[in-house]
Amino acid sequence: MNFKLFYLFLGVSFLSAFVSCMDENSSESYINPKDAQIYGFSLSTNKIPGLSSVRFTINQLDTLIYNPDSLPHGTSLSKALCTLTLQYASAVIMAEATNDTVVWKSTDSIDFSQPVKIRVFSYDGSTTKTYTVKINVHQQQGDAFSWKLLTDKALNRPITEQRTVFFRNHYYTYIKGEQEVFTSPNDGESWFPLEIQDFPLTADLFSLQVLDNMLCVATTDGELHISSDGRKWEKQDNTPQIKTLLGAYNGKLLAIVEKDGKNCFTTTNDLLTWEYSSEEIPNSFPVAGFGAASNEYGLIVACGKDSDGKLLNSVWLTNDGLSWTLLTDEKNHVLDKREGVAIVYYAECYYAFGGRKPAGDDWTYVSDVYVSQTNGVTWTKTDIALNDFYTPRAFASAHIKDNKLFLFGGANNDNAWIDDVWRGFLNKLGFEKK
């Protein structure tokens, strides 16, 4: 390009713009003819709604223009309109992606897929200032997980049923009908067997709960057993007839019990005194196969089966364990009917992983993921992908530790239990520290 002719053209353009502005605003009393600064910057394109509202920072010292909040993963800015705020100055655009140098016009599309330089010329042509525009775009999908298989042989033995909890800075995995527990020193990768004493053979493993410094489990015949170290267990006397343990929240154990021939909600904070709901539990409330998790607003239970064995897709919420609110119902279809779903509260959202659904006279095991950003009221099926090698499953155990999500085992058919451990990290939280 002949830059002498180019700058001559710019000078004429400046003069025309100046005269035009003076005619429109004759009250203008002073112009700095040496001002070559950009005062405002924005982008827009019909293909990306909301792009025009993205905030850009102009660092005048380093002559850098950038967006502090990165655009979503996959955003393409190969064609975008650029709006500049100048004071009687003009500019040329030098796009690295196309290797073009053109006079800036707000109506011309520019390729911002790679850094762009903007050279600003003052009105009198004596001052120039060159800015670099860098568009920040997430390099990873923010609502996706990065997964790592920690081990595919955690217990290295046949399993009929298992449940994993985090207790006293260790993971404990209990196996149905065994007087042995496997423990991992909080990493989920290396596991060691430990003998346990008096763990009930009739334990309902999916009722296993951590209440402060105590482990609690209900049995299929309504007893409550406790342990202060995860190894030695004893029956807790003078308890109501336990139907199922719903969870632990705000220092209380939440349960469904049989009282006066009816099933009702109950809570206790010391396993000695129990407070009961005044009414029987709703017929559509899940009593088995549900997932549960909590945040500062309360504890939710979702899906599972009611007392008649009917499969559910409902979500219930409580903040005291005695009164429950139905957040969703069958008409909303926010979740597929299923049981064995694993639910966690992670990065200000509830996530529901997997489960099993009816498939004729059999079950189909799934690995799909639902997310709720509304504390369990609404749910959407996401494109969050578990690893390609992750086997669809139900009744997996889930836990959050150090901003990482751990998934333990589960079943992939009626008679097969999986012996692996996965660690997931949500990309939008930043890069995982190994």
Output the pLDDT for position 398.
95
Q: Are 252 and 269 in contact (CB under 8 A)?
A: yes
In angstroms, the CA 39 to CA 57 distance is 10
Characterize 375-384 residue by residue with b for buried, 16 or more Cβ atoms within 10 angstroms of its Cβ, and e for exposed: bbbebeeeeb
From 3.40.50.2300, 2.60.40.10, 3.40.30.10, 2.60.40.2340, which CATH number describes the 3-134 domain? 2.60.40.2340
Report which DSSP code applies to 273. Answer: S
The per-residue pLDDT for range 32-85, each reduced to its tens digit, is 899 999 999 999 998 888 899 999 999 999 999 999 887 876 788 999 999 999
Separation of first and last alpha carbons in the chain = 52
Rounded CA separation 422/152 (Å): 9
State how far the Cα of 133 lies from the Cα of 66, in Å rounded to an integer: 6
CB 409 within 8 A of CB 418: yes
Architecture of domain 145-429: 6 Propeller (2.120)
Residue 169's pLDDT is 93
pLDDT of residue 351: 93
**Residue ranges per domain, the chain?**
3-134, 145-429
Residues 6+ apart with CB under 8 A from 410: 340, 342, 354, 393, 394, 395, 396, 397, 417, 418
What is the C-alpha separation between 147 and 423, in angstroms, rounded?
6
Total-model pTM: 0.68
Task: Give the model's pLDDT for residue 177.
Answer: 85
Measured distance CA(121)–CA(2) in Å, rounded: 17
Q: Which residue positions in the chain have pLDDT lower than 70?
A: 1-30, 73, 138-144, 329-333, 383, 385, 427-434
